[in-house]
Amino acid sequence: MPRYFLNLRDRDGFHRDFDGDVFDSMDEVRNDAVIGIKQIVADALGSGATLSEALDRSFEVVDETGMTVLTISFAEGVASRSTP
């Protein structure tokens, strides 16, 4: 199974995911990203961030070769459905 890395881009720059996770499909990768986005946004809002600050981020998902296979903004992720 392939390993994917969910790198975070925000106002402070680029934060690389050095560990990654193994997924069966791109649907699983996207679902995991959406769940993570919702958790990060909830934590940011709970810590006093504005909605704009909480959403001004994105995940750039890369495969094991370093190729970007998915970019998802936090605004898009919050609006998406996910399954636990």
What residue segments make up the domains of the chain, in order of their start?
3-79
pLDDT digits (tens, 9 = 90+) for 11-46: 999 999 999 999 999 999 999 999 999 999 999 999
pLDDT digits (tens, 9 = 90+) for 39-80: 999 999 999 999 999 999 999 999 999 999 999 999 999 999
Cβ neighbours of residue 18 closer than 8 Å, sequence gap 6 or more: 5
Structure confidence at residue 47 (pLDDT):
97
Cβ neighbours of residue 14 closer than 8 Å, sequence gap 6 or more: 7, 8
Structure confidence at residue 73 (pLDDT):
98
Whether the predicted pLDDT of 8 surpasses 80: yes
